[in-house]
Structures are given as C-alpha cells and as structure tokens.
A = this chain, B = another copy of it.
Amino acid sequence: MNLDARISVLERSSFFNDANRDTLVHAAETASECPVAKDEQLFRQGEEASHSYLLAWGRVRLDQTTSDGRNVVIRYLGPGDLIGTVAVLRRKPYPATPVAVEDGMTLFWGAEKKAQLIAEHPVLATNAIELTGSRLEELQERLREVATQRVERRIAATLLRQVRHAGRRVEDGVEIPFTLTRGEIAELTATTLHTVSRTLAAWEQEGILSGKRASHLVITKPHRLVEIAEQE
C-alpha cells in the first residue's frame, strides 16, 4: 500500500475520527503492513502485548479460551477496527486471540510507537476511550442477555447485532457478509451448536432467514427476529 491508500484506510476507522491530516500522515508513515490468511492468528491470548493492529480489510473473530479448552467468541471485527490496542496501552498480556475468518490485511504499530502516537495526538486518546467504552457497553448488554434470556432470544439478538455491525442490504433482505458456522454462532451465544442448529432450522421453516453452510446468512424477515429478540 502506498501512503495515500494507508491514509484512506485510517480515515475509515473511527479511531481516527476528527484527526487532522498531520495525525493521519504520521500514523500512516509509522505503520507496517501484515496480511493475514484465513484461520491465521494475529497473536495469542496471554502473550505480552507487543503490537497494536488496525484491520484494513477482512474479518476477524476474537476468541477467548478457557483453561479447559472451551471457547467463547467475544466479538467479530471488521475493517477499521482496532485489535490489541487496549492491551498495548495497558501494558498487559493480550486477553484474547484474534483469528481471521477470511483473508485480510492489517496495519500495525509497535507498542511504544502506538503509545507515543496517542500521547502526541490527544484526539486519539478520546477516540480510544469512546471505542473501549462502546465495547464495554456491548459486553454489558451481552452479559445481561446471557444471564436473563433464553437461548432463542439470545440467538436472535446476536444475529441482529451482526447485522447492525456489518449487515449489507441484498435483494431479499439483509446479509451477514461473512461465514458464520453454527458452531461459531453457538460460541457467540453461549450455547451449543446443536441448539443453534435446531433453532435456525425452525426459523428457516418459518422463512425468517436462509443460507446454509458456508454461504452467508440472509435475514429475510428482520422484523420477526426483532420480535423474537424482544418477546417477553
């Protein structure tokens, strides 16, 4: 990528909202590039945080693994999202493992460089807080869901969240533009792939959504999903 390409990547990230040209140029100049292939990990949970990444394009799943090998998907990340940045700023180990679910490209900075960038450009600090805050709020919401709601509602809410973050209009509804296996939905929803399978099968019957296997999910009746997510 040349400098202009990098800058336009940065401009699309909310982390650089309201940043002036100097900031963008400086950040773009000091970044390195790293492609990620599908199923590749950017780093592993527990490692010392050495780099902060910005996803230029592609799609990444953030995994958290239990000591006994079970897995929870914290969230999916798309173009413009930061990865590992909070850990870098806190000088703590990475709390989760990012895995690419499709080929992609990242820009990255060393830990010190990133900290320096933020120190020299206060607007970035503000944006970092905004960003962390919104993730915090989303996690609070999910915690509440898992704590109080039945599986069916949670699956509906989870799919709707993916739509909000990354949904794309297609002719017969809204599409989630990346592959989501039943197993992955299960790990996002705190249930098993069996229950997800049963639930989605029922919804497909009802014509709420469609899309088997590796094809992308298409929600044909989002309003029905909203109803399910909000039902008493």
The answer, among B134, B143, B146, for a CB contact under 8 Å with A74, is: B143
Instruction: Tell me the bound Cα distance from A93 to B69 in angstroms.
Output: 37
Question: Which B-chain residue is minimally distant from A148 (CB atoms)?
Answer: B70
- Copies of this chain present in the complex amount to 2
**Interface stretch (choices A5-13, A23-31, A121-129, A198-206):** A121-129
Q: Is the CB of A140 within 8 A of B139?
A: yes
A96, CB-defined interface residue at 8 Å: yes
A142 contact set on B, CB distance < 8 A: 143
CA distance A129 to B119 in the complex (A): 12
Does A190 contact B146, Cβ atoms closer than 8 Å?
yes
Cβ of A72 and Cβ of B125 under 8 Å apart? no
A137 CB–B CB distance under 8 Å: yes
Rounded to whole Å, the gap between the CB of A171 and the closest CB of chain B is 33
In the bound complex, residues from chain B placing their C-beta under 8 Å from that of A125 are: 122, 125-126, 129
Chain B residue with minimal CB distance to A232? B68
Provide the residues of chain B in CB contact with A132, threshold 8 Å.
86, 129, 132-133, 136
Query: Is A214 an interface residue, CB under 8 A from the partner?
Result: no
Minimal beta-carbon separation of A56 from chain B (angstroms): 23
User: Within 8 Å CB of A64, what residues of B?
Assistant: 140, 143-144
By the criterion CB–CB under 8 Å, are B143 and A66 in contact? Answer: no
Distance in angstroms between the alpha carbons of A144 and B190 in the assembled complex = 8
> Are B146 and A89 neighbours in the complex by a CB distance under 8 Å?
no
- The answer, yes or no, to whether A95 is at the interface (CB within 8 Å) is yes
Asked whether, in the complex, the Cβ of A130 is within 8 Å of the Cβ of B89, the reply is yes
In residues 71-118 of chain A, which contact B (Cβ within 8 Å)?
Answer: 72, 74, 86-87, 89-90, 92, 95-96, 118
Sample 8 A-B pairs with CB under 8 A, ordered by A number: A92-B133, A128-B129, A132-B133, A135-B136, A139-B139, A139-B143, A143-B143, A148-B190
